[in-house]
Amino acid sequence: MSNESIPAVGIDLGTTFSVVARLDDQGRPVTLVNAEGDHLTPSVVLFDREEIIVGKEALKALATEAERCAECSKRDVGHRVFHKVLEGKQYPPEVIEAFILNKLRQDAIQQIGPFSKVVITVPAYFDEVRRKATQDAGYMAGLEVMDIINEPTAAAVAFGFQQGFLSRTTSSDEPQHVLVYDLGGGTFDVTVMEIRGTQFIALATDGDVRLGGYDWDQRLVDLVAERFMREHLCDPREDPRAAGKLWRECEDAKRTLSVRQKVVIPCEYRGMVSQVEITRQQFEEATQDLLDRTRFTTVQTLKAAGLDWSEVDRILLVGGSTRMPAVRNMLQQISGKTPDSSVAADEAVAHGAALHAGLLIAQQEGRPATFTIRNVNSHSLGVVGIDPLTKRRRNGILIPRNTPLPVKRRRVFRTHKDGQRSILVQIVEGESPSADDCTPVGRCSVRNLPPGLPARYPVVVSFNYEPNGRLKVRVRLPQTHHMVETEIVRENSLSKEHLDGWRQYICGLPPTDYR
């Protein structure tokens, strides 16, 4: 992987912070600094009339101009629009992500020269809709997203590199089971990996795309605000500016509580000031249920991987929020093992992504792969059918969760009536038997069936999950030469025209044939 002609770049597009890494001449991952000289770029965008500012300055502005700032946009990815109206406009969340990626791209160019090929990481628990939206964000930011890779897998690859696994050629190494516990700013992921020499195999994955350090911050904000209210009979959370300022103070105090037993948090509103003392114990009590949610998911995932704690060789801590002592204590208590924080919690994911980018570039240049990754799907994939008895919409699961990828499944649909020319297939992801409780991925209409087909004519639809968790759908009519092309009409997805328009606006680059 040395002497890359094309830089191998990996991007950890985080909920609260983002990190860019590349491989150096020796094939080692290094974190790039941004234009401000920092390794971590806050994933915050300030919309200041015509000016769009990303990163540290936008984060600062959150305390004084919260109404113009977009923070935690990753949490909204998959929804049609960001939850806040910014300067009178409603932006799709992936557009906000694209502004962040564009800043990361421009800052990286300053150091390594022009590049466009990248690997971007996503939480393992991201569904297909969110994965596609993340790829779209990359396109709008002028990047060529070679692949998306799950964050815990990337962390495990970085760990494997650090342990020297990637430079070994032998496959006789004893398999190691690594449980990656990844608690970031806005998402929680847990993945059980098997590392066999240079093979990284995900056995099971689970998580919560709306659980992260941000929720711990919120609890601290509530604790402080309630104390303030008792003293001054008014709530600082009702004013966006006071709330924004308090949030920043609390995020800072939370970090202090990771190393100290108590902290004093200033809170100011309508000219009144309180100095609120919070102990680590009070903070831990107020957030116990959040931690319990991660514990429950961790235990379930281990079970899904078919392992017990005695078979886990390492518990790898990833994500800034694993610095909270309560996380480490909880894992130690349930596993009887000391969690490993030997990979840099904030940078490991970007490093793993850069290693994966290096691998892809090497393959494109005809060099052999130094390691392989095998993923599982994080959500069951199903098609919507109508229950003949209850007439309710049912989720007919085709590919259960935690199936090794890539995977292909076929399903035969039948026409209802003579001469039918089209069929509509609705695709969902989720575990519930009721389709209405699942996430719609999209609709796939099979049009232009040949004329004159009898009723109940079979139409074979194949669903292909690619190694990166993205879905492709193909349709075939057996016993005829008729090929039916189809595309998924995605829920909440931007059209190619919109993507091109945003790409031009955000980074000034012309469209490509990206789909």
Residues that bind ligand AMP (CB under 6 A): 14-17, 184-185, 213-214, 251, 254-255, 258, 319-321, 323-324, 346
Q: Of 250 and 398, which has the nearer Cβ to ligand AMP?
A: 250
The long-range contacts involving 79-85, CB below 8 angstroms and separated by at least 24 positions, are: 79/492, 80/492
Query: Could you tell me the smallest distance in angstroms from the CB atom of residue 324 to ligand AMP?
Result: 5
Both tokens assigned to 403: 């199936």
3-class state of residue 327 by DSSP = helix
Query: Could you tell me the smallest distance in angstroms from the CB atom of residue 321 to ligand AMP?
Result: 4
Closest CA to 115 of 95, 139, 148, 142: 142
Q: Of 47 and 188, which has the nearer Cβ to ligand AMP?
A: 188
Q: Of 352 and 382, which has the nearer Cβ to ligand AMP?
A: 352
Query: Could you tell me the smallest distance in angstroms from the CB atom of residue 485 to ligand AMP?
Result: 40
Contact 370, 359 (CB under 8 A): yes
Q: Of 85 and 259, which has the nearer Cβ to ligand AMP?
A: 259
Query: Could you tell me the smallest distance in angstroms from the CB atom of residue 286 to ligand AMP?
Result: 14
> Hey, CA dihedral for 449, 453, 457, 458, is it positive or negative?
negative
Query: Could you tell me the smallest distance in angstroms from the CB atom of residue 354 to ligand AMP?
Result: 16
Indicate the pairing of strand 458-465 with strand 407-414: antiparallel
Query: Could you tell me the smallest distance in angstroms from the CB atom of residue 258 to ligand AMP?
Result: 3
**Cα separation values, 323 from 68, 255, 345, 385, Å:** 30, 8, 8, 46
Q: Of 18 and 395, which has the nearer Cβ to ligand AMP?
A: 18
Closest CA to 122 of 151, 93, 98: 151
Query: Could you tell me the smallest distance in angstroms from the CB atom of residue 183 to ligand AMP?
Result: 8
Residue 180's contacts (CB-CB under 8 Å, 6 or more residues apart) are: 152, 153, 155, 156, 189, 190, 191, 192, 193, 316, 318
Q: How far, in Å, CA of 421 to CA of 215, rounded?
A: 50
Which residue, judged by CB position, is nearest to ligand AMP in the bound state? 213
Q: Of 29 and 319, which has the nearer Cβ to ligand AMP?
A: 319
Query: Could you tell me the smallest distance in angstroms from the CB atom of residue 378 to ligand AMP?
Result: 18
Q: How far, in Å, CA of 99 to CA of 13, rounded?
A: 11
Cβ neighbour number for residue 280 with a 10 Å cutoff? 18
Q: Of 305 and 348, which has the nearer Cβ to ligand AMP?
A: 348
Q: How far, in Å, CA of 425 to CA of 428, rounded?
A: 10
Indicate the pairing of strand 117-122 with strand 9-13: parallel
Q: Is the peptide bond before 406 cis (omega within 30 degrees of 0)?
A: yes
Q: How far, in Å, CA of 200 to CA of 196, rounded?
A: 7
Q: Of 159 and 371, which has the nearer Cβ to ligand AMP?
A: 159
- Establish how many alpha carbons lie within 13 A of residue 363's alpha carbon, considering only the half-sphere containing its beta carbon: 12
Q: Of 100 and 475, which has the nearer Cβ to ligand AMP?
A: 100
Q: Of 27 and 213, which has the nearer Cβ to ligand AMP?
A: 213
Beta partners for residue 190, in sequence order: 181, 206
Query: Could you tell me the smallest distance in angstroms from the CB atom of residue 214 to ligand AMP?
Result: 6
Query: Could you tell me the smallest distance in angstroms from the CB atom of residue 45 to ligand AMP?
Result: 16
Cβ neighbour number for residue 305 with a 10 Å cutoff? 23
Helices (H), 53-185: 56-61, 73-76, 93-112, 128-140, 151-162
Contact 402, 377 (CB under 8 A): yes
Query: Could you tell me the smallest distance in angstroms from the CB atom of residue 396 to ligand AMP?
Result: 36
Both tokens assigned to 21: 């890494």
Q: Of 263 and 373, which has the nearer Cβ to ligand AMP?
A: 263
